Structure 1
């Protein structure tokens, strides 16, 4: 069977470290997770003008995470928290890709910051800094390594995510200071952290449109692998 072509969004970095010039980056395990599930991963540079051409090529879209935030103006916020940092060209490209994929019903998997961007594209809003807005919040920027669990999430029964994972509780890793605050009525919240932070969303009207706040590419649980398996199956 032909492998579905899966586009993965890249992170972008300023000069320094790897190169004295601007450079792209992606963790290998994003690509490994796609390949393990049967997809053919390709990296998507931030060429906004070429969004339609990329959409013509790919069978599925993975919106990856990164140490940056969606501009609050994009979800109608009237103020901007001091902790917010943006990568405007990356966000413009990812929004173009997500909105185009939604129009074409191309399967989408949003991971961590990718879930937040997906939520905004679907008409939702974000918490700009969890410690300032959630009383008694968990350490969502976990102190232990990212390939270990940081906390657990409760998966809502009857959701697509629950059907995929086959569990009502998953141990997950956590590396974020923002989260989804609200989503439109047609979008389902499918997972929550013990402190009430939204950890997963889905659009049941689409072929596959799921965001998770954790990083399933680290394969911490069987549920993580099943998310990628279901995503690739939807892309065939």
Structure 2
């Protein structure tokens, strides 16, 4: 993993909510526990924000919405319940976490209603697309012919495949290139892009890797994990997100 620059962060820096994953008892603790990779927080700090991790407390959502300047919806060991996007069946590989999704749905919708910046990462992009009214592919290997290894075998801090960035999109203006090397750790993806949103990045096998909604101040989802900073484009994405949170 690449090192992050450390510096004093002004107290006036934007507060960035970061959602947590959750796990049942076992492994780290005999009781239920939350999980978050450190680099989600480090990427926010390195880009000029102050990270605030968010326990899954729906009753706290109104207070979070008043407090936060931006939201990062993270990835994790979970899938969005297919019933939420109108699917009649659930693939055998789908793993839902109802409490996590209930909380993330509420806070994501609330941030969008207030037109505060939202960045969805991996499973966070999938959640964002469904909140906006889109659908998902439940299992890429069963739905995409000749699919790439989207759950890459090499380490996550290395590229797994490139993506093509749509010219003229906000993402393109941010990263300044039409191709970006990305890491890949997902078995689901966007199927139907939500109404009003647009696809802004695609993998070589046609899998949608990025969405954005021009109707909001900053609303971007990416299927990869830019918090690893494996490219300058990833750094630029986080910097643009934090800059939007300052406005």
Residues 1:86 and 2:121 are matched in the alignment: no
Equivalent residue for 1:139? 149
Structure 1 ranges of 4+ moved more than 3 A: none
Equivalent residue for 1:3? 13
Deviates more, 1:75-84 or 1:180-189: 180-189
Q: How far apart in 1 are the matches of 2:220 and 2:75?
A: 14
Matches within 5 A, 1:225-236: 225-236=235-246
Q: How far apart in 1 are the matches of 2:99 and 2:244?
A: 29
State the 1:185 CA deviation.
Answer: 4.0
| TM-score, normalising length: structure 2 | 0.94
Secondary structure, counterpart of 1:163 in structure 2: helix
Matches within 5 A, 1:159-170: 159-170=169-180
The structure 2 residue matched to 1:207, chosen from 217, 223, 240, is 217
Equivalent residue for 1:13? 23
Residues 1:118 and 2:128 are matched in the alignment: yes
Across the aligned residues of Structure 1 and Structure 2, the Cα RMSD in angstroms comes to 0.7
State the 1:184 CA deviation.
Answer: 3.2
Aligned residues: 236
User: What do residues 200-223 of structure 1 show as CA deviations (whole Å, max 9, x unaligned)?
Assistant: 000112110000000000001000
Equivalent residue for 2:234? 224
| TM-score, normalising length: structure 1 | 0.99
Equivalent residue for 2:159? 149
Q: How far apart in 2 are the matches of 1:71 and 1:79?
A: 10
Equivalent residue for 1:197? 207
Q: How far apart in 2 are the matches of 1:18 and 1:131?
A: 31
Asked if 1 retains the 8 angstrom alpha-carbon contact of 2:129 and 2:194, the reply is no
Asked if 1 retains the 8 angstrom alpha-carbon contact of 2:58 and 2:102, the reply is yes
